């Protein structure tokens, strides 16, 4: 085994969803630096094209897709396999958060909107990617995105969102059991507070300050600080890790 960050990823096909978002952009850019070929997927073509323009290397793809439309998933996976010759990694970051000050304000639409993208689309995209990896017969890596809310139940009006992330954590474990015999690892990354549009939307300055105080490292992470663990999980160095939830929270929670 070559000892380097991103070992084993050179020439591999990678899909990153939510790639125009705060953490997704950092993750997708980090994958491009390993020599992998990256398909960046997000809602808006202009935003995703801009992200890919900042990548290292060539041969990457910028694709606009609404992942809540499950019928789009097969086409994305096929496009990646055809363009890259293989699909080795799915890093699924696309998610939405609607904060509500009181649970009485949570509407059925709020519940469905967050579950449809964060959990339902995540499951079906992971399964579509997993099927392709099984067919290829060369193993693979699926990395899901949870949140500390899977453990805490959520702060700052995010009970429904936290429920989706609890689902993502459980789903990740189930998929790890399902795909293990095919040498496909499935792990969740669970960020703490990361400085992105999602964190800041509807967040009061008081809650933001108290988050910093409760974090032993004393600050809110920048997106690049989450990209390293994702690339590690996709690398050869992490080949015996599956079903884990990797806590990247600056010590906010310890487990």
Residues that bind ligand NAD (CB under 6 A): 17-18, 20-24, 42-43, 66-68, 93-96, 117, 145, 147, 191, 193-194, 196-199
Look up 208 and say whether it is catalytic. no
Gyration radius of the chain over CA positions: 17
3-class SS shares of the chain: helix, strand, coil, % to 5: 50, 15, 35
For ligand NAD, which is the closer residue by CB, 27 or 176? 27
Pairing of strands 61-64, 89-92: unpaired
Structure tokens, 74: 């097969």
- Give the sign of the dihedral formed by CA 159, CA 160, CA 165, CA 171: positive
For ligand NAD, which is the closer residue by CB, 18 or 157? 18
Minimum distance between the CB of residue 42 and ligand NAD, rounded to whole angstroms? Answer: 5
Residue 158 to residues 34, 100, 192, 195, 201, Cα–Cα distance (Å)? 35, 7, 14, 17, 12
DSSP-assigned states of every residue in 63-88? EE--TTSGGGHHHHHHHHHHHHS---
Minimum distance between the CB of residue 130 and ligand NAD, rounded to whole angstroms? Answer: 19
For ligand NAD, which is the closer residue by CB, 7 or 226? 226
Minimum distance between the CB of residue 1 and ligand NAD, rounded to whole angstroms? Answer: 29
The helix (H) or strand (E) run that includes residue 42 is strand 37-42
Considering 161, 179, 208, 240, which one is annotated as catalytic? 161
Q: Name the strands in the sheet holding 37-42, side by side, starting at the edge strand that comes first in the sequence.
A: 61-64, 37-42, 13-17, 89-92, 140-145, 184-191, 245-248
Structure tokens, 214: 């409760």
| Closest-approach residue to ligand NAD (CB) | 21
Minimum distance between the CB of residue 37 and ligand NAD, rounded to whole angstroms? Answer: 20
For ligand NAD, which is the closer residue by CB, 46 or 103? 46
Please tell me the distance from the alpha carbon of residue 26 to that of residue 46, in angstroms, as a whole number. 17
For ligand NAD, which is the closer residue by CB, 196 or 242? 196
Minimum distance between the CB of residue 29 and ligand NAD, rounded to whole angstroms? Answer: 13
Q: Collapse the DSSP code of 240 into the 3-class scheme (helix H, G, I; strand E, B; otherwise coil) and give the result.
A: coil
Catalytic residue positions, numbered: 161
């Amino acid at each position: 085994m070559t000892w380097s960050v991103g070992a084993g990823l050179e020439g591999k096909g990678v899909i990153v969803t939510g790639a125009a978002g705060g953490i997704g952009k950092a993750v997708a850019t980090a994958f491009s630096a390993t020599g992998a070929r990256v398909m960046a997927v997000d809602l808006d073509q202009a935003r995703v094209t801009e992200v890919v323009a900042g990548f290292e290397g060539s041969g990457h793809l910028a694709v606009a897709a609404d992942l809540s439309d499950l019928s789009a998933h097969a086409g994305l996976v096929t496009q990646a396999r055809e363009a890259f010759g293989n699909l080795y990694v799915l890093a699924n970051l696309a998610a939405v958060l609607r904060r509500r000050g009181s649970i009485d304000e949570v509407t059925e639409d709020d519940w469905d909107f967050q579950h449809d993208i964060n959990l339902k689309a995540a499951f079906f995209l992971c399964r579509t990617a997993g099927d392709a990896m099984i067919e290829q017969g060369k193993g693979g890596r699926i990395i899901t995105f949870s949140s500390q809310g899977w453990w805490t139940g959520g702060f700052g009006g995010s009970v429904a969102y936290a429920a989706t992330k609890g689902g993502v954590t459980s789903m990740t474990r189930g998929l790890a059991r399902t795909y293990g015999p095919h040498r496909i690892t499935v792990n969740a990354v669970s960020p703490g507070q990361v400085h992105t549009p999602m964190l800041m939307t509807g967040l009061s300055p008081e809650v933001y300050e108290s988050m910093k105080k409760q974090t032993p490292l004393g600050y809110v992470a920048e997106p690049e600080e989450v990209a390293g663990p994702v690339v590690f999980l996709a690398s050869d160095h992490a080949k015996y890790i599956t079903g884990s939830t990797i806590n990247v929270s600056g010590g906010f929670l310890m487990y």
